Structure 1
């Protein structure tokens, strides 16, 4: 029997120690962030800004992969088929994570069991906007009183049946307590065009997309669907001051696949938080009317679960189905 030399033993021990280190090395190759919307939109801009900073911090290229279609299902399915090693991540909104599973009878993945929230990136409240020539009421309380005095006679536009903006309108209708007529459009842009023209009197829109028209005076913002005022619309109250408990916030989060090693999740979380705290991101948040979401990672599953319940109830009340 040939006994190993001392040098061989040392080399073998070194290799044994190095193997776990190599296995734990992250990232070991370029990373990919899937975005369920086309390039140039709000979610894409946020994903690219975060991706650039993660690339610098992690020492690997971060590629943004836009996979629009089917309300985010196309990106979600591609993500679900990737490896749970942290090299592929998903930037997703409440629509993909919380709303779609209530809208669709069947989905090729389950965001509850397949995906894991790693970090919240930003949030924007939805905002109630009106055409002041059609609905001249200067305050939210007066608008609510007008709608209650004219049941079934006030229409509201939306970005389409089952969209977050439609469901927000349905939550508003339920909170006001009288019938309103939903007018669906093929997206937020054509709905806003008709709002400005006076063809539809009111709608909910994302704060970032509504701001130019509000600031230009074409439409009036009467309430934000957040718990507090937003710096982008000083003086515009939360809708909850008139309709208690009303809340509709469009958040964007970074998700990994369930089964991703904990050290990888921890590093992604830490570097993402560091990126969001930088001066460039602070400027982006201000310019795009984003608000930060400093929720600890340990609290994110409960947050997502609560949001899922909120939007499931809104889908059920609206009767909307996507298939």
Structure 2
């Protein structure tokens, strides 16, 4: 079996894929992890979508490959719903709404509610940064603006790292960023965390509330999971899902994921498929409403 990761080596999806592959190999035989980055994950995902039946490939897909990117591009090479058979949801991780700590103090913004009040009384005066047009940070901010009926301009960067650097330099006022990358800056007191983007709090930031507590309906999480081509027989899908789930939920697997700050999920097959369809529909609505496009 080949497990395709549609992103460069070393990231959380790649590491998670290798943990899952190592653990499942006892039941499924040798599993080779191959990185096929490009087109925001589209290159590797398309490779698996169009794989011949004899190839025995699975994909470490994500919110980008199956829920976001298909709505961003005018022409897209694969159908994220029809071309795949979802196997196992691996993990869901929240983003976090952060401000430069000095600027937040100067503007007297300590909570999401404070931010909303400031934006309503100072429309278009704050600018938010993101890792680029169509990134989760971009979509989260547009969802936030829509739910709170507020206005602020968008400054896209080439990746989340430059966006965080701009935030530290006060070139932008706020960023919806990956929790893992922002956490050291939050702990160092350089960034002020106003809220996490999941429905509940995150154990990494137990004193930071969910944005949904103050802005009802707000829920944006990064997720990733294993997919097979749609042509895979149901019996094989069941076998694959069981093997990967067992690897993730084993004591050794859980310990490895814990070191990454990840708790492995238990959603598989039909439950995971329903989740993917729901996420695909949700982001389609958000992206159309915000008129986000990538040519």
Distance 1:197 1:281, change over 3 A: farther
Matches within 5 A, 1:34-73: 34-58=4-28, 60-73=29-42
- Looking at structure 1, the residues matched to 252 and 194 of structure 2 have their Cα atoms a distance apart, in angstroms, of 31
Residue 183 of structure 2 corresponds to 211
The whole-number CA distance in structure 2 between the counterparts of 1:284 and 1:170 is 34
Decide whether the 8 Å contact of 1:229 with 1:238 is kept in 2. Answer: yes
Q: Partner of 1:138: helix, strand, or coil?
A: coil
Contact 1:85/1:264 (8 A) holds in 2:
no
RMSD (CA atoms): 1.5
The residue that corresponds to 2:230 in the other structure is: 258
Does structure 2 retain, via aligned residues, the 8 Å contact 1:86–1:265? no
> Where do residues 239-258 of structure 1 align in structure 2 (5 Å cutoff)?
239-258=211-230
Offset at residue 287 of structure 1 (A)? 2.8
Look up the match of 1:28. Answer: none
Secondary structure of the structure 2 residue equivalent to 1:117: strand
Deviations 1:95-132 (A, max 9, x none): 11011111111112111111111000011011111111
Q: Is the 8 A contact 1:207 1:289 kept in 2?
A: no
Q: Which structure 2 residues correspond to residues 70-85 of structure 1 after superposition, within 5 A?
A: 70-84=39-53
Q: Is it true that 1:275 corresponds to 2:247 in the alignment? A: yes
Q: How does 1:140-155 map to 2 (within 5 A)?
A: 140-155=112-127
Match of 1:7 in 2: none
Instruction: Rate the CA distance shift 1:283–1:198 in 2: closer, same or farther, 3 A.
Output: farther
SS at match of 1:111: coil
Indicate the residue corresponding to 2:93 in structure 1: 124
Structure ID, larger Rg = 1
Greater RCO, CA 8 A, separation 6+: 2
Superposition TM-score, scaled by structure 1 size: 0.87
CA distance in 2, matches of 1:271, 1:85: 20
How many residues are paired up?
292
Equivalent residue for 1:11? none
Give unpaired runs (5+ residues) of structure 1.
1-30
Instruction: Using the TM superposition, give the Cα deviation of residue 141 of structure 1 relative to its aligned residue in structure 2, in angstroms.
Output: 1.6
Task: Give distance in 1, aligned partners of 2:285 and 2:54.
Answer: 34
Aligned to 1:232: 204
> Normalising to structure 2: TM-score of the pair?
0.95
Whole-angstrom CA distance in 1 between matches of 2:99 and 2:226: 33
2:261 maps to what in 1? 289
Query: What residue ranges of structure 2 are gaps of 5+ in the alignment?
Result: none
